[in-house]
Amino acid sequence: MNWDRDKVQHMASLLRRQVNADVNVDHPLTGLNSWKVGGCADLLVRPRCLAAAQQLFALLAAHRWPWIVLGSGTNVLIADAGFPGVVVQLSHLKHIKMLTPGQYHVEGGVSLGELVRVCAERGDSGIEDLAAIPGSVGGAVVMNAGAGEHTFGEVVTGVHAVLNGQPAYFEGAELKFGYRSSAVGPQMCILAIEIQLQTTERDICVSRRKQALEYRKKAQQVFQPSAGSVFRNLPGTCAWKLIDSCALRGCKVGGAQVSPQHANFIVNTGNAAAADVAELIAHVQREVYRKTGVPLETEIRYLN
């Protein structure tokens, strides 16, 4: 949907009057994603509390305005043309509350790394392996973030969301967590979750978290803007091994490059456009399929 400037300004004015939120017009998205690419959002809206978020999504549904949620921007490719609608960020929703020993209520804007740190410091175990995964808690649910032997979906017991503009609650099992996937659909936004961890010794949790951070640092030393692993691993093999076997390490399209340090990372060498990244992803998929017969699927989300 294309809006003229008067329409966008009218929408911004309405949102500022009716929702407790930060509202920005024609906001650049380049600085809000880890690839450092992409255009502008017609509107960028950051609700300041859970109630404001619910109010916002009700309003978006009532007016049928297109919207998308942008978390920490660590697993998304934003188009050079930006997003013609409302981009919602839950960056103000950062509360972590212990309900019972090992049980937490966590708002969707909390970073996964911060949640792991808080829980480890209290001796609550089950997510230490996820310490180095970037992104927000909401995004970790959508993609069922995982590392080592654990995935985030294993500890999620409940999800508070909005679906088609209305408040909704789901038991963890209802989200059908799979490999880097869940049943969270395009008209659903996760506002908060409950998790259940196992209480153990604080020193053990802290040590596991430290080991996870150190392993990630050694295994994935990539020094340019990236979105982490681009392609899903397949049963019995790693995506990076397939890419490497096809001599694609270091391959470039414009300012985008298959990382020389990690073949499942695509990096921005300094002047990449989103179109460069997208073209390089497609090239890697074509070459791997041509040479090995294996179709690579992406882990990233496209925002356009």
Confidence band of 69 (pLDDT split at 50, 70, 90): very high
- Rounded Cα distance, 187 and 64, in Å: 11
Alpha-carbon distance 168 to 184, whole Å? 12
Q: Which pLDDT tens digit goes with each residue over 240-249?
A: 999 999 999 9
Q: Determine contact, residues 75/301, Cβ cutoff 8 Å.
A: yes
What's the pTM?
Answer: 0.92
As beta bridge partners, residue 105 has: 97, 194
Residue linked to tokens 């074509």: 286
For residue 3, is pLDDT > 90?
no
Residue intervals of the chain classified under CATH 3.90.78.10 are 221-303
Nearest to 212 by CA among 223, 200, 224, 220: 220
pLDDT value of residue 143: 92
- CATH 3.30.465.10 boundaries in the chain: 96-218
Which among 107, 128, 194, 299 is annotated as catalytic? 299
Q: 236's torsion region: left (phi>0), alpha (psi -120 to 50) or beta? A: left
- Strand, coil or helix: what is 10? helix
| Fold of the 221-303 domain | 3.90.78
Spot the catalytic one: 91, 136, 180, 209. 180
pLDDT attached to residue 147: 87
Cα distance between residue 197 and residue 195, in whole Å? 7
133 within 8 A of 114, measured Cβ to Cβ = no
How confident is the prediction for the chain on average, in pLDDT?
Answer: 94
pLDDT digits (tens, 9 = 90+) for 105-127: 999 999 999 999 999 999 999 99
Helices H / strands E in the chain, number of each: 7, 19
Q: Where in the chain is the domain with CATH 3.30.43.10?
A: 5-88
- Residue 225, token pair as written in the block: 């803007």
3-state secondary structure of 49: coil
96-218 CATH fold: 3.30.465
**Beta-carbon contacts of residue 155 (< 8 Å; ≥ 6 apart):** 126, 127, 195, 196, 197
pLDDT tops 90 at residue 217: no
Q: Tens digit of pLDDT for each residue in 6-62? A: 889 999 999 999 999 999 999 999 999 999 999 999 999 999 999 999 999 999 999
Helix H or strand E encompassing 290:
helix 274-292
Distance CA 263, CA 217 (A): 16
5-88 is classed CATH 3.30.43.10: yes
Chain segment 249-274, per-residue pLDDT in tens: 999 999 999 999 999 999 999 999 99
Q: Which of 72, 91, 229, 259 is catalytic?
A: 229
pLDDT in tens, 129-140: 999 998 899 999
180 is annotated as an active-site residue: yes
Q: What are phi and psi of 74, to 5 degrees?
A: -95, -5
pLDDT tops 70 at residue 2:
no
Compute the distance between CA of residue 188 and CA of residue 285 in angstroms, rounded to an integer.
Answer: 30
